[in-house]
Amino acid sequence: MNWLEISVHVPHEGIDMVSNIFDDLGAGGVVIEDPALINQYIEANIWDHYEFAPEVLNRPMPIVKAYLPEGPDLENKLALLQELLIALPLPTVPVFESHEVAEEDWATAWMKYYKPVEIGNKLAVKPSWEDYTPEQPRIVLEMDPGMAFGCGNHPTTTMCMEYLEGIVQGGETAADVGTGTGILAITAAKLGAAKVLAVDLDEVAVKVARENIERNKVADTVEVFHGNLLDKINSKVDIVIANIVANVIILLAPDVLRILKTGGYFITSGIIQFRAEEVREKLEQIGFRIIERKEDGEWVAYLCVLEG
């Protein structure tokens, strides 16, 4: 079976919107090619510029890529994609291009965008197929994204990992909502959490997360299951992590009160700048105290505590 690679050129504030559209179309995952982020890692001597083509480094705006299988409904999906892009609240309509990818190429098409990256003071993430030895001792997560989202090279994920590095002391319980590849659940476990419940609505993500959890030898600590937000979580936890989108965080926040212990932490990320105040107001309205705000480009993350 062949696949169609679809590349949408979109400004930073539209990355999350386009990713959600692809998810609704059944893509199962996206590749985000952000020249600003790539250049940031090059300047920090984390990645080497020669690993990327000049047209990638010099591109004026990010690209969100996804892969759809060829079939009788592909034409309808492309027509719907165009309609949804036109409807986005952006200054200009994002444009997309596409080309056919053979089955054997599709499986590894995204690999060239995924490199080892060091995060915070303690953590590092490496692809399962690359060698990496940190100069200083670090907790290394070995990840394979498959067709799920979240591998440590996106600011929304990085900021959550930095928060976890600062608050996990050992022995905590945590819930990771919208776990994707399982990276944040694995991070919590490797930092010392005693039990982590990871949930995702996407069955592909659940499968990928379980594989990554086995790869990182934390299967005794992390339990992954298929479900919608916190619907299947009833036990009290010390930490709730939600690296999702603003709308879902606003919807989810009241239910976090049900499972989060007094004094517990709520980490929220995936919030685009222009929605940040709206999310902050909602969090404070229902009883959270925001103790830290992080910003990285167009993205915002909050660290909140539930006070008694």
User: What is the Cα–Cα distance from 148 to 288, expressed in whole angstroms?
Assistant: 30
For residue 123, what are the CA distances in angstroms to 117, 119, 130, 139? 9, 5, 16, 5
> Residues 151-179: pLDDT tens digits?
556 788 899 999 999 999 999 999 999 88
3-state helix, strand, coil in the chain (%, to 5): 35, 30, 35
**Residue 23, pLDDT score:** 78
> pTM of the full predicted structure?
0.69
**Residue 25, pLDDT score:** 84
User: What is the Cα–Cα distance from 228 to 208, expressed in whole angstroms?
Assistant: 17
> Residues 19-78: pLDDT tens digits?
888 878 877 567 777 777 766 766 765 565 655 667 667 777 888 888 888 888 888 999
In the chain, how long is the greatest CA-to-CA distance?
A: 56
**Residue 238, pLDDT score:** 97
Reported as a pLDDT band with limits 50, 70 and 90, residue 147 is very low
Q: Specify whether the CB–CB gap between 100 and 3 falls below 8 A.
A: yes
Q: At residue 222, does pLDDT exceed 90?
A: yes
- Whole-number average pLDDT of the chain: 85
- Taken as a whole, the chain contains a residue count of 308
Domains of the chain plus CATH, in order, are: 3-112 (3.30.70.120), 114-306 (3.40.50.150)
Q: At residue 113, does pLDDT exceed 80?
A: no
User: What is the Cα–Cα distance from 86 to 250, expressed in whole angstroms?
Assistant: 25
Total H helices, total E strands in the chain? 10, 14
